[in-house]
Amino acid sequence: MKINDVILQTVTKIVVFIILTFGVELFLSGHNNPGGGFIGGLVLSSAFVLLYLVHDIETVHKGIPFDFKKIAALGAFLAVGTGIGSALFGKHFLTQAAGHFTLPVFGETELSTVLVFEAGVALTVVGVVVTIISTISEDV
Amino acid sequence: METLMTILVGFLVMIAVYLLLSRNLIRVILGTAVLSHAAHLLLMTMGGLKKGSAPLLGEDAESYTDALPQALILTAIVISFAVTAFLLVLAYRTYKKTGTDNLQELRGFEDE
Amino acid sequence: MNNIIAMPMIIPLLTGIILVFLRHNTKTQRVLSILSSIATVAVSLVILHQIQQEGILRLDFGGWLPPYGILFVADSFSMLLVATTSIVTGILLIYAFSSIGQQFEHMFFYPFVFFLVAGVNGSFLTGDLFNLFVCFEVMLLSSYVLITMGGRKVQLIESIKYVTINVLSSWFFLMGIAYLYGTIGTLNMAHLSVRIAEVGQGPLLTVISLIFLIVFSLKAGLLLYFWLPGSYSAPPTVIAALFGALLTKVGMYALFRVFTLIFYHEPIITHTAIGVMAILTMIGGSVGALAYNDIRKIVSYNVVIAVGFILAGLAISTEVAFQGAIYYLIHDMIVKALLFLLAGTMIYLTGKTKIEEMSGLIRNYPALGWLFFITMLSLAGIPPLSGFIGKVFIGQGAIESGSFALLIVAFASGIFVLYSLLRIFLNCFWGETIINEDDDVPLKKGMLVPCILFAIMTVAIGIGVEGLAPYVSDAARTLMNPEIYIEAVLQGNR
């Protein structure tokens, strides 16, 4: 029996973007406030899971043609990379640096290498969650 | 508050042990999930519950709650998340391969 | 600042991550993994050498000073184990090249081996109890994946038990950490030691120490080894060898670290408990090794016996006994890997697992037979080989401290090890050959070479023990005098 999920599909089109935006917001608000890579990553991956629920796997993979295992590996690489980066500069392993920069659009902004680390964590979480979900659901 | 939380932890462990001892694979997995939550709650309780303000910049307060237990729990949650997910995949594969999720029937299985 | 001591964990971790991208490129995967193993071995030998000159090294992650930050501490004990781990993994990888097969190589076999090694090395190096938990979990998660890899029915069923029992022990670990943090308020191992020495190890702390005893006994297979033979005989040979050589050793290392550095004030309770458990482990392991006819089961029970034997050294707790235990740990990592490889090769060649189904293998594969003979002698502790020195030191320690029950059981277990392996040797290698000249499976060079390398190592350690002695005696001295470790972690030496 084909399930009639027109409402779900229509709502998803909007909601996915709200979830993605919220994920990015959570990710960026980390460091000093609640949020950060792990939570942001979980919210981002929940958007993908919602897409998997509404459409079937093939359709989603056509739209997002990434190998999520590699995304997880890339994330882990970024996270470990920041640690090694500090070692290259003669600092203790995993030392983070921060500084204030004036960027064209954002104005005065605080940028930190933690951001790269957290981005790595977020990518890892997204990659791992989506990989797990697709592994379970592949042959249902 | 600490006493109450400790009782809650004990209650969770009780449920988890009951689930872990059942024969159904899914129940065992749920048991491990509940068990790890009990451990996380215990970590939080042992670190001392709310003693001051939330440990965030911008909260002007006399004293702050110890942030370390929360950092520990976050790590532990990530790990238990990964383990639970792995167990679910494993249980599913086992079910596909053997056609049963009853641990009693999986016992004493010789190599094929 | 010594960023180099994070390298034994970082190199495998990074290699594992990079290898994920090279999933279908088998040749590059092999080259990279060998290069990375060599690099890890080199780095760990450099660190080991550096410790002899500069004392214990430490690295504060992110520059956060102890006891606030996480740190890695490298003393001789941990570095000896890290170096051995790296060497053993490198040699096992050579065996994997010829035996594991394309299917596994495309299923992320190499990345997970490296994640496992990263977890193992991290556990050896860390100076923080919670970090130890995390490294344990990295190691365990990789081992979960490795044990199920291939997805044979028996593997899946065994791995359910393996994963569940490990989740339970991780829960105990977390609980112990929670209680310890609640009572002492720190998780840095050196700091814990200082504070416990200040307040005294009362009944409460002794109970907490017993929780840790349960946790690490489950991981090491001390008395709580019921899960071990099943799960170690399910996966493919290389993975079983990796487990047999490395996983239980991490549990043993943690037992040594915790009960010499942190909870050493109540030896009447804790060390007696370890001694009793060690005796029961050796007896149970011997019974198991004699009872089964399946080669893989016999070999797995030999792992159990060795666990009991090494921890007898901890129960005796004198400097000589520690030296013996460290020698035996190093020896056991190498020889257990060799034993698992030989057993796996025999099964590969004959297609049978029961000893009564094989016969006369030495006629077809003389090299294999002699290698098995050497392994057997080494495990039994016959002089020029590596098992001898450890046994002598543990025996000497037992006599000095008057623990004669441990002494008798430990040396009797040696006889059972010898008998259980002789049973394999007599049944499988002697007698009428069952394989015709025509249809004997050729023994691949890639399988024989790693076994020969391991055999050379056991002979070399046995003969060249003088070269190892300064490192081992330094390690034992640090274990015996926790203040050396505490001094290095909490002050100076930046």
Determine the residue among A94, A114, A131, A138 to mutate to test chain C binding: the one whose Cβ has the most chain C Cβ atoms within 10 Å.
A94
| Calpha distance C82→C480 (Å, rounded) | 20
Query: Which structural domain range is residue A122 located in?
Result: 6-137
The percent of chain A in helix, strand and coil, each rounded to the nearest 5, is 65, 10, 25
Note every long-range contact of C441-449, with CB atoms under 8 Å and residues 24 or more positions apart, other chains counting: C441/C348, C441/C349, C443/C345, C443/C349, C443/C365, C443/C367, C443/C368, C444/C98, C444/C99, C445/C98, C446/C94, C446/C95, C446/C97, C446/C98, C446/C99, C447/C95, C447/C98, C447/C99, C447/C341, C447/C345, C447/C348, C448/C367, C448/C368, C449/C94
Counting every residue written for chain B, the total comes to 112
- Cβ of B89 within 8 Å of Cβ of A128? The answer is no
Q: Classify residue C213: in a domain, yes or no.
A: no
Tens-of-pLDDT digits for all 494 residues of chain C? 688 889 999 999 999 999 999 888 889 999 999 999 999 999 999 999 999 998 899 888 888 888 888 899 999 999 999 999 999 999 999 999 988 888 888 889 999 999 999 999 999 999 999 999 999 999 999 999 999 988 888 888 889 999 999 999 999 999 999 999 999 989 999 999 999 999 988 899 999 999 999 999 999 999 999 999 888 988 999 999 999 999 999 999 999 999 999 999 988 999 999 999 999 999 999 999 999 989 999 999 999 999 999 999 999 999 999 999 999 999 999 999 999 999 999 998 888 888 888 888 888 888 999 999 999 999 988 888 888 999 999 999 999 998 899 999 999 999 999 999 999 999 888 888 777 666 677 888 889 999 999 999 999 999 988 889 999 999 999 999 999 999 988 875 44
Asked if A33 is an interface residue toward chain B (Cβ–Cβ < 8 A), one would say yes
Structure tokens at C206: 């002794």
Overall domain count for chain A: 1
Q: Could you tell me the sign of the dihedral formed by the alpha carbons of A120, A124, A125, A130, in that order?
A: positive
Q: Report how far Cα C370 is from the mean position of its chain's Cα atoms.
A: 25
Q: Classify residue A95: in a domain, yes or no.
A: yes
* pTM (two decimals): 0.94
- Cβ of C10 within 8 Å of Cβ of A93? The answer is yes
Q: Classify residue A89: in a domain, yes or no.
A: yes
User: Any residues with CB less than 8 A from the CB of C163 and at least 6 apart, and which?
Assistant: B83, B86, B87, B90, C144
Q: Classify residue C107: in a domain, yes or no.
A: no
Q: Classify residue C355: in a domain, yes or no.
A: yes
Q: Give the domain B2-49+66-98 fold.
A: Helix Hairpins (1.10.287)
Q: Classify residue A1: in a domain, yes or no.
A: no
Strands C57-60 and A98-103: unpaired
Residue spans of beta strands (DSSP E) within chain A: 98-103, 107-112
Asked if A4 is an interface residue toward chain B (Cβ–Cβ < 8 A), one would say no
Q: Could you tell me the sign of the dihedral formed by the alpha carbons of B94, B97, B103, B109, in that order?
A: negative
Asked whether the ipTM of the predicted complex exceeds the cut of 0.90, the reply is yes
Total Cβ atoms within 10 A of residue C400:
13
Q: Classify residue C155: in a domain, yes or no.
A: no
Are B69 and A33 in contact by the 8 Å Cβ rule? The answer is: no
Chains that touch B (3 or more CB pairs under 8 A): A, C
Q: Classify residue A52: in a domain, yes or no.
A: yes
Q: Classify residue C389: in a domain, yes or no.
A: yes
Structure tokens at C321: 């006994």
Query: Which structural domain range is residue C456 located in?
Result: 267-463
Question: Which of C14, C18, C20 lies nearest to residue A69, judging by beta carbons?
Answer: C20
Are A82 and A117 in contact by the 8 Å Cβ rule? The answer is: yes
Q: Classify residue C476: in a domain, yes or no.
A: no
Overall domain count for chain C: 1
Q: Classify residue C140: in a domain, yes or no.
A: no
- Compare all CA atoms of chain A with the CA of B89 and give the residue at the minimum distance: A136
Structure tokens at B101: 């999720």
Q: Classify residue C298: in a domain, yes or no.
A: yes
